[in-house]
Structure 1
């Protein structure tokens, strides 16, 4: 497999590209993507058996099960990042080793608990994000791993992309089940 093909498997919807101008309409679309992720994951995974939940979306990639657990962990962090930025002056957030998280024992457990987390987190995120005013959307946090500041409006876009990115991974694992499993 070529590097280009591997990159396309890793980023099935492409990498996040921040628009030059972020409009209110774009933010609303992004919030809808965030809000609908749990139901989209439920719809795609509801009839999968244990073997199918262990399908991988690319060579050396995560299983569907790991992707769902990762989304729960990542989006817990997302909610906290938004709240820190709303309550502190440009806080520095704590990054984490997502690949190490994916190796922990809870990532081998059934996905129902992580789906329950996603339902709650995404409901809270949607409520919070829909109430942000223009001033709050410009608030920032510092991500030390990237060495830069992220505004909340950009972060909404990043998590909408992240939601769609991992939903595409789940669908891709099912589509290419014969190749990578």
Structure 2
């Protein structure tokens, strides 16, 4: 962020950091390869599988506590929606992973990608186990899988945020080269 006073523009003081961190701080970022009007689609699309697949944990716990079949059916449909929306989000994320060197240069990019592939794979296993046996597959296997998937999504979300906020991947640049 820059401060403007009259006709002069100043950059706020940056705390003493390693030189490479300072360069990255001043870097305006790398735009996503999958965007509409400069707005990256991956961050928008991931909200759906995150909500659906973490919601499975809630509905599995609901079934465990109440024994109500409604919660087992809800888990099954949330898994299906999470897998489909997750594949769409994964396609946009994979395009950035393949086309933007900066993503592959950081451990955060690899953890984010591998962790999300694992979460989708485990969700598919859970979905297949529940096919035709929605109530019988919840306890304990489905519940354990949904807990593991929700944990993975929390971890990979952290690393996805690292890519955006620390490494400035898939951002709309407002640095010096982007000013009118």
Please, what TM-score do these two structures have when normalized by structure 2?
Answer: 0.40
Name the one with the larger helix percent. Answer: 2
Look at both structures and tell me which one has the larger radius of gyration over its CA atoms. Answer: 2
